[in-house]
Structure 1
Amino acid sequence: MRGSDERSGSLFSYVDLEARVRPDHPLRTIREIVNAALGNLSKAFAGLYTDFGRPSIASERLLRAMLLQAFYGIRSERQLMERLEFDLLFRWFVGLGVADPVWDHSIFSKNRDRLLAGEIAVKFLSAVLAQPKVKRLLSSDHFSVDGTLIEAWASIKSFRRKDGDDNDSKGPGRNAEASTRRSVQTRRTKVRPTRRPGCIRRGMGSRPSCVTWGTL
């Protein structure tokens, strides 16, 4: 039998956020580690506020929200609050209920300085690294990467001959094909001539990319 597409608004809705998140979701392990670290910082959070006045947004919720912003690559606090408004997974991780209101995005600007002044970021990271589940993932091994290719903000057309003669194209128009091969021995870019530029082709059929050689 075909189901109905009509929307039936319920006066009461009972939604258990804990049941909505699957048991093997990666955020479950992260949330457990984060909550344990935040529990050790309770006294540090209390020292940032006075004993009177209007209650503020809990620092624990602000830090959890900023972690989600980093995990999911959300570009601004405004977009983060919009996502937190309708995403049940985000609400569960931060500690908000289904009916709890979302705070204004300007709260981050006002509280970020307070958290930095109290060195909460350093204490929070230290508390996370001290967790037993995190310690076994750490290592003192060191490695270096040499000859790194960094994508350059320069087009192929910005490469000019070192001798000043650029009359090596055939055909009319600004997009004429070059009849000679471009190389760092005969050309250099006008964008940053002090860097060591070059062009590479990452695969058959792909167009060349301008890169800058560097060292990490």
Structure 2
Amino acid sequence: VETTLATGKAEREAAAVMAKRSLKRGSTLGADKNYDTAGFVKAMRAQGITPHVAQKTHGAIDGRTTRHAGYGVSLRVRKRIEEIFGWAKTVAGLRKTCFIGLAKVKAQTTFTLAAYNLTRMATIFGWRLNTV
């Protein structure tokens, strides 16, 4: 996770930093329409990462990407990722943070998503008992 100040293009800049840190050449990166800009698509392609971003009407994503079956799969899987942010906003209180300052909000975000990972692991490995 990456937490930044809201600048209008901070999401794309954070995504580029995380992609450089985490993804290897040949990977794909799924994202929403906000990422369909010439600069972001060019930066991802320069790193050898295929940007599977939702296509705008006159965006930077062209037939080189959209013609592959994997592009459609990525768009469907992206909806599952959005569920994580929905959980973080509703259950974990990230819709309106209680903290002031980037360092404190970053700590809350990291803690929240670590808690989400533990919750998912509990479900996957059967640690949670569904006794009501």
- TM-score (norm. length: structure 1): 0.20
Of structures 1 and 2, the larger Rg is shown by: 1
Larger relative strand fraction = 1
Larger relative helix fraction = 2
- TM-score (norm. length: structure 2): 0.29
